[in-house]
Each structure stands twice: as structure tokens, then as C-alpha cells.
Chains A and B, each alone.
Chain A
């Protein structure tokens, strides 16, 4: 009995302590939950999106930024002009900007940042984008001139990405552990495995965008049940991307929370090894696409949350065309196409499936749909990212796989000769190359439209759906992004309603 009393006493004591902590919390801070902890805090040296989801806009800023509607707006570059041949960009920089350690931001640090990203020792995950830069010049402290080898219509968009943020020469090497940027929040602490804390930068340069909050805490909780528990117990104020769609429903009925379905750029596609039989035959790929009922798939794999896509392009992005009707669900025609391709007796292959729930569920539903047209697909689980990157991405040792592609506007990957799809189409390559050279936005989007159509008809990969952004947050919290035009958590304008 004494033991039980002891436990109860301990619980009561602990409860009193934790309640005290909650009551003392001032409401000019926010605790945000993320499912993945970033590996390092410098988005310019490693790819994981979690790095940008903590630091981008909050701590680091770019020459330009992408706003909540996906538009490019000026940031550390006040304005810019583009030469008529599209090869010289002249940026007028903000003046009076300082990094968190007091170092001034000027054309020299901007040039340093770009040179570091494109240099020989660079490990920038988007280094390919910086390859187009031929030279960076600094006529004066507030002017930056970027000369290109050839026109690059997406340059400004790329400069808005987390991988393109401005860093300071003196502190860049240590940014992985103690990041120093120009943003409205500066680094406070990182308890590895648990949380990162940022605090308000008292000398932030942009008077028009001084953040209402004084403290941001990012907590890392991988287990979906634990995410729900953290929200319901008040330990976390917001989970901008809840991991499990099946746990999202109850929040919609709970007035304490805002449960918001937004869109992302995470395109779930079932990539095929197009260099390998039978996927080298477009008829086989089309047959498989027509065996898929996207609405049922989204219902079964994602509790109905997600937008169907017909090409490698997210509805979020400018120039999107709905192409889900190009190869619609039609099992009879799918069977006929398979027979025409010489597979009247059916077909069997394997799919390598990462452990993420969306991928596993999608593969299971696809397996059932393919079975209806006489195709036997064997599911082989694979560990993401380590094993998947080695086997599928690098060694091209797979028939089919399914994974979400996170980069916005990444349709150009189908023009890369060494990419894992093994897709080769000279007409497509030419269209992409032309689009990338085109500076005029309207003409460029038209070319991306052509590229979208080519993929929708040729289906080098099966285009399934875009993952939803399932945001759950305290109903009194305002200013969080509903959609995610770029993987991020811009908390600079978040506030508590009175």
C-alpha cells in the first residue's frame, strides 16, 4: 500500500510542477511540432527539408523570398533589373542590414554566399541551379551583378529557396550548429533530439515585418500518436504537418483547434524503370496508369485527403494544367493495351516501397488495382532514405517504386539522363531546356504546359496525387501558412488572437 501511496504522491507532485510551468508561460511564444528533426541548421549545405522548415525566413533570408501564395517578392534585394538578353541580373540590395552577430550584410557577403554555393567544395543540395552563374560582381556595397552563361528563367525563383539564403563569410562554416542569418529570429539553443529554440532579433532590419512573437520553439515528435497527444495536452501549439491522415478527423470536430487541409508540392508518383522491360514500352505504362482509379486510391491510402494529379506538376505551382483526364481510369482499355503490348496473359513485377505510411498504403491499393487487369505486383519494403537512395536512386535496381517528390517545379528531372526513371525523350529535353532559358514568364509557363502534357501522355511514372498539408493548431493562433508552396514554416507573421 505504501508503494501505491508513494506513486500517487509522486504523480500529484509532478502534476503540480507541470501545471505551474503551463500557467507561467507567456503567450508571445509558440511551440511548433515537426515530425523530423533537421540534421544541422544550415540549409545551404544539406538537403533535408526539415532544415529549411526551421530556419528559412525565421532565421535566414534570401535575396528574394517566396510568399504564402508562391509569389517571388523582394527581400534582401530591394529590386532588380534583367538585361534584355536575360543574362545579366543587377540587384539593388537593402542597406543597413546586419547579421545576428553584427556583421554587415552587403554585396560582398551576397557574393560570398553565391560563390560558396557554386564553388568546387560546395555541398549545396541545389548546386546544379548555381552552375548557370558565370560571374558575380560587386560594383558597390549595395549593388550585386550576377552574370549567367545562358538565360535562366527560374533564377529568381531558385534564389528564393532555402538552399539560396544569404550567409556571412565569418560565420558560415559554423552555421550547421550555430546558424547566423539576417532574419527576424536568431538562434538560441538546440537540444538535440528534442527541440530548437529561436528568439527575436531585437535589431531586425525590416521595420514593416517585425514579428509579433518573441520566441519560437520547434519540437521534434516522430510518432503520430505522440503528435496527437502533444497537441491535445497543450505541449505543442501547432503541428503544421500532421503525419497520419487517419488521426486528423477528430481535430476537425474540436473547437479548441483549427484543422486546416492545405496543399503541398509533394507529388506522389510511382516511378518505373523505363530503361527496363516491360516499362520501356509506353503501352505498358499507359495500361498501368489506366488501371488506377485515383479517387479510390486517395480514399484508401490517404483517408480521402489529397489532390489527384495527371502529370509531374503540383496544383500549387504557376502554370498547372489538370491532366487527370488524359489517361482516365478504364480497366477494359488497360487490359486491351496490355494485350496489344504482348502481355495478354498478364504481367508480374516488384515495387520497392519505402516505410513511410503514405507509400506503404499507396502500394497496397495499387497492388489491388493492378490485380484487376491481370498484373501481379509484389511489394518489397525498402528503408528510406538509406537503402532506397542506394538501390533505386543510384543503382537503378528496381521495377517500380513509389515516393513523394518534394521540390517545387521539378518537372525538369525527366530531362536528366542519369535520373532514376531512366526516361529518355529528346523532344521533352528540348522543351525543358527552352523553358529554362526563357525569361518571359508567360512564354515559360506555356512551355511547362507542353512538358506537362508530354508526361501525361507518356507516363514515365504513374502520376497519383499531391499529399495534403494537414495542419492542426490552437484555434487562437493566426498567421500560419495554409498551403505550402515551398517546404517551410514561415512564422514571422504568426500571432495569438486576443
Chain B
């Protein structure tokens, strides 16, 4: 267990360093000068040079990378060139939107997908199964930004039940903040729920056909008991795997959904930072994304250990 943990942490550090170097390299060959963007089309060369000095852009790329890395190691993530504020605070503000959004979306999709997937598997071939499978197919096919627009039009504009976008901040109380996250979370969750429903259904069906389930049924266990005691717990391993993968897609999807709903999340920050060539911010945001994905994968591995006794045995050996 400890060995696994330390191996993982080492891998995490190496991955983050590689990601950081890659982003820096890509951004330095990309056309676009953040100072020129700030100063617009009337800027004179001397004004530009003054801003380059202020932003620290007059140093060569490796030196800037070294500076940034040194700062990051000591907990200083630099200052945004566009906003002029420390990036750490900026990212913390955005995480307070993106993380609750991602967790809400995951919770919604699990809450919908698990019962529906098990139900469809248990009633295989019946009307319920056909309906659930069709709905899941529809969910997978819907792009989440389009779904977002549709939700805004119906729930926010016509019915007026929820705000159409924006984020009042957690300081305004959990009620308004959560209300602002419901629609974007739904838009993110529905396509994911579609995928998860299908995976759950297939996984449960696979397990139901295994020999040990047949043995259990032969020993007199009812169909329902076999399903809940044997099939569902064993089907959870592939479901958790897909759930872990979906987290990465949720983060990527948040860029679009946050734009549609005007949410000040990490995805939109990344997009803005790219458009403004705010290298320091982009660098830090990509690192946070990478770290989140790696941490989630680690949690998925832990979940395997909890779900499958065979893996536990191998881990201690």
C-alpha cells in the first residue's frame, strides 16, 4: 500500500514537470505577444519594451521557465499578466466553482446511471430495458453545450426557475450558488449518465452470465438476491474505471459549459488565458488540471482495492 502510494507520488511529480515543460515549449513557439495584446494597435515600440520589462518577458524562454519552476516549488505560482493578481488566488477562486460543478455532475450522473443500468440489466429485453437503452443512447449523442443552451431556454428563460447564467459566489450563501450550478451540472451530467448507464447494464449482464452466479442460483438464491449480492458488487469495477475516465471529460467539457453559463470556472480561465497568451496562468491551470486527473486516477486505483479482494491480496504480496 505504502509502496503503491510513493510510486504514485513520484509518477505524479514527473508527469507534472513534463506537462509544465510541454506547455511552456508550445506557448513559446505559438505566435502572439501578451504585451502587444495588452497595448493594442496604437502601441509604440518603446511602450511595448517597457511592458515587456514589467512582465519579465525580456528574458529568454529557459530563464523564464526556470524562474517559474523555482517560484512554483516554493509555493509562488506567479502573477497573471492580464489580471495583475497572484495566480494562486485566481485558481483558488475558480476551483471553488469548477470542483463543486464536477462533483455535482458526477453525483447526478451516478445517481441516475446506476439504478437505470441495473434495472435495464435485470429486465433485459423487456420494455424497460429498451427504453433505458434508447434514453442512454440519446444522452450520449447530445453535445453538452447544446444541451446547456436548451436547459437555459426552457428552465431559465421560459419557466424562470433558475438563473440563466453567472455565479453569485459562495459568499452570497449556498442557496443562490447551488442554484447557479444546477443547470450546468445537469448539462454536464446527462451525456455522462448515458455512457455510465450503458456500461453498468453491460457489466451487470456480463457478471450475471458468470459461472458463480449460476452456481448461486442453483443453490437456491433468488434472482433478485443473486443480482444484488453477487452481480452488482462485481460489476462495479468496470463502472468505477469509466467513472474515473469521465472525470477527465468533465474537466474538458467544463470549458464549453462554463462559457455557455457564464460561470467563472477553471475551464473558462484556461480559455481566456490562452486567448490573452497569459502564459503564467495557463501554465498553472494546466498543471492543476493534470494534478486533478492524476489524483482521481489514484482514487480509482484505491477503489479497485476496496472493491476487489484479489487485488488487495496482490498489493500486499
Contact = CB atoms under 8 A, between A and B. Distances in A.
Given A193-B265, A193-B268, A11 B155 contact: yes
A18 B179 contact: yes
A58 interface: no
B14 to A, nearest CB: 31
B50 A120 contact: yes
Given A387-B31, A390-B31, A226 B42 contact: no
Contacts of B157: 229, 232-233
Given A226-B262, A230-B164, A48 B112 contact: no
User: What's the interface size class on B, roughly?
Assistant: 35 or more
B66 interface: no
B37 A17 contact: no
A126 B42 contact: yes
Given A125-B42, A126-B42, A219 B262 contact: yes
Contact of B47 (A6, A122, A221): A122
Interface residues of A, number: 59
B61 interface: no
Query: Of B93, B156, B179, which is in contact with the most chain A CB atoms at under 10 Å from its CB?
Result: B179
Nearest to B261: A226
Contact of A390 (B33, B111, B264): B33
A350 interface: no
A3 B111 contact: yes
A40 B54 CA distance: 15
B143 interface: no
Nearest to A419: B41
B235 interface: no
Contacts of B140: none
Given A221-B165, A230-B165, A389-B37, A47 B269 contact: no
B242 to A, nearest CB: 19
B180 to A, nearest CB: 8
A391 B155 CA distance: 44
Given A17-B175, A123-B47, A230-B164, A10 B182 contact: yes
Contact of B163 (A3, A233, A410): A233
Contact of B166 (A10, A39, A221): A221
A276 interface: no
A229 B259 CA distance: 13
A407 B262 contact: no
B127 to A, nearest CB: 16
A17 B160 contact: no
A46 B167 CA distance: 27
Interface string A1-44: 00100110011101101110100000000000000010110000
A192 B266 CA distance: 11
Interface in B164-205: 164-169, 175-176, 178-179, 182
Query: Of A15, A17, A123, which is in contact with the most chain B CB atoms at under 10 Å from its CB?
Result: A123
Given A122-B50, A195-B166, A390-B36, A15 B153 contact: no
A385 interface: yes
B54 A194 contact: no
Interface in B244-264: 259-264
A17 B50 CA distance: 50
Interface string B22-46: 0000000011110011111111101
B8 interface: no
A11 B269 CA distance: 28
Given A15-B162, A17-B176, A125-B40, A192 B90 contact: yes
A356 to B, nearest CB: 12
A469 B92 CA distance: 37
A226 B32 CA distance: 28
Interface in A194-209: 194-195
B40 A226 contact: no
A386 B169 contact: no
A394 B45 CA distance: 10
A378 interface: no
Given A14-B179, A221-B166, A386-B277, A229 B37 contact: no
B259 to A, nearest CB: 5
Contacts of A48: 38, 40
A5 B151 CA distance: 18
By DSSP majority rule, is chain B's interface helix, strand, loop, or mixed? helix
A412 to B, nearest CB: 10
Interface string A270-308: 000000000000000000000000000000000000000
A229 B153 contact: yes
Interface string A148-191: 00000000000000000000000000001100000000000001
A47 B50 contact: no
Contacts of B163: 18, 233, 235
A273 B277 CA distance: 26
A18 B260 CA distance: 19
A101 interface: no
Contacts of A18: 161-163, 176, 179
A83 B47 CA distance: 31
Query: Of B43, B268, B272, B277, which is in contact with the most chain A CB atoms at under 10 Å from its CB?
Result: B43
B276 to A, nearest CB: 6
A40 B82 contact: yes
Nearest to A174: B84
Given A40-B83, A46-B39, A229 B162 contact: no
B115 interface: yes
Nearest to B48: A123
Contacts of A7: 108
Contacts of B39: 46-47, 123, 125
Contact of A192 (B162, B182, B260, B264): B264
B38 A47 contact: yes
A226 B152 contact: yes
A473 B139 CA distance: 36
Given A15-B161, A123-B54, A125-B40, A219 B182 contact: no
A387 B153 CA distance: 35
Contacts of A222: 259, 262
Given A19-B160, A233-B157, 15 more contacts: A18-B162, A18-B176, A21-B168, A47-B38, A47-B40, A123-B51, A193-B269, A229-B157, A385-B37, A386-B31, A386-B275, A390-B36, A393-B41, A394-B36, A405-B41
Q: Which 7 residue pairs are nearest across A and B when measured between Cβ atoms?
A: A47-B40, A386-B32, A193-B264, A15-B161, A39-B82, A14-B179, A390-B31
26 contacts: A3-B115, A15-B162, A39-B82, A40-B82, A40-B83, A40-B84, A47-B43, A48-B38, A123-B50, A123-B51, A177-B85, A192-B269, A193-B93, A223-B259, A226-B164, A226-B259, A229-B153, A229-B165, A230-B166, A233-B152, A233-B160, A385-B37, A386-B276, A389-B37, A390-B36, A405-B41
